[in-house]
A and B are shown apart, each in its own frame.
Chain A
Amino acid sequence: MITANPSELFDGSIARAADEDLIELLRGGSDEALTVLFDRYHRLVFHVALRVLRNHGYAEEVVHNAILSIFRAVANFDRRKGLVRVWLLQYAYHRALHRKRHLTANQFYRWEELEAAMEVGAARAYLGDSRENVRLVDQLLQRLKPRQRSVMELTYYEGLTAEEVSQRLNESVHVVRHDLQRSLSILRDVMLGATAKKDQC
């Protein structure tokens, strides 16, 4: 049974444990580790989901699902590759985008091929090494032009649509979409390059 407040039962040392240690505790059957992870990350996950969905109820649903999903994944967590925080961000962003499409479809549209292709991409993304990914994004940032960086930041941090970004930067929507595409394309090239280098090694 999940306790309401772990500090009532424990001396508080679990609350200071590292994420990866909490995952180990979860794996060992410590349910309190989940509440600590919830307390630690629910604001962050809520923030990301709300930026995309712009609805408190839907964002809360994403928070619940994201934290619950840790339980499902905990048995196979590889602490050498995965950062819990990055994984949660990834999951929250993925589910929020999926929910947004579902709401846009409004029981009228069906995009099965599109959803399937995106899920394949998401599955590959989850397999990635999050520490390595952070390093690759660092490389990407160095290669981006200031405007491209602004587009990426407004899209990811602020959750703005291309139209909103174009208004903010006083550029056309076409330019914004192009910058976003170009930036992701550079990252993809960086990733492919890194993979090829690994294969050679």
Chain B
Amino acid sequence: MLGELARRLSPWGHGKFQRLCVPAVVGNLSPEELTELEKHLKKCAKCRRFLSEAAQTNLIAMPAFWEKRKPAVSMMPPEGIRARFLQRLNREGKEQQEETGSMVEWKLPLGSRSHLKVPPNGFKMFLRPVSIAAALIVASVFGAGYYTGSKAKLKAVPASGQIAATLDNRTIQATVASPSETKEKVLQSVLAELTRARTLAAAERRALEEKLAASDAKLTSLRQDSANALQQSQETEREVKEVLAASRKENEALRKRIADEDAILASQNRRTQEFQNELQLARVHQQDQD
């Protein structure tokens, strides 16, 4: 008991690490602090449990806080987020279908007890691709195929662009093989799917247009930047030339001044020499008189 108390009070005990758990779960710890906590967690089940509880409480508190107060949502998502979401949905659906050849298996519960089947870190599965679009295409094609009895022939529709072709083939098959009353149903289902395909194509077109517009904007911006850079470069070159010219002028003036100073110095040297000579002569004369 004393040991436990000492460990709690000690800066190296559980208390210190448990104090790090709450900032850790709200994303407020530095990498160094997280690493320190990680080292302790490797050997301490008690603190692991404490951290789990803190994470659980935090995850319950935050949304419930929001739900309670409903603060204003002021930040606008980027342009085209919806189109990109639909694109991703369709793309990942196709990939998933190519990988598994089957429909998506939805595993995560939403507010349900069956979530217990998910492993502790099973939430990574959330990020696996979802093949909603592919599943829906397959489902719709199978649904229509039910009327014609040609279900076995229609195993997959790999791309949205091929929907129309697939439907055309099926229409022909239906026209040839089915009695007239089922033909109408088939044609109705084909029409419905064509409407869906047209809507998808419109969405893809819109997304491409957005992409094109973004690309154009980027190109214009780059051109502008390039023109600005060129202009700046020309201005800089002109400034450098001006500075060089001024510098040359100054150099010449300095050289001239140095030459003038040299001339003055030479003249003074000459005069000094003359005075020295005269002085020497005067001394000689004086000695002669003495």
Contacts and interface: CB of A to CB of B under 8 A. Distances in A.
Interface of A: 1-5, 8-9, 23, 29, 31, 34-35, 38-39, 42-44, 46-48, 50, 52, 56, 59-60, 63-65, 67-78, 81-87, 89-91, 93-95, 97, 100-101, 104-106, 108-130, 133-134, 136-138, 140-141, 152-153, 155-157, 161-162, 177, 180-181, 183-184, 187-188, 191
A2 B73 contact: no
A50 B27 contact: no
Contacts of B136: 1-2, 29, 31
How many interface residues does chain B have, given as a range? Answer: 35 or more
B109 A76 contact: yes
A51 to B, nearest CB: 8
Interface of B: 19, 22-28, 31, 34-35, 37-38, 41-42, 48-49, 51-69, 71, 73-78, 81-86, 88-90, 92, 104, 106-116, 118, 120-123, 125-127, 130, 132-133, 136-137, 139-140, 160, 195-197, 199-200, 202-203, 206
Given A78-B112, A119-B120, A83 B67 contact: yes
Contact of A119 (B82, B109, B121): B121
Nearest to A53: B27
Contact of A152 (B41, B65, B199): B65
Nearest to B50: A117
A92 to B, nearest CB: 9
A63 B200 contact: no
Contact of A117 (B48, B82, B84): B48
A119 to B, nearest CB: 4
A61 to B, nearest CB: 9
B66 A89 contact: yes
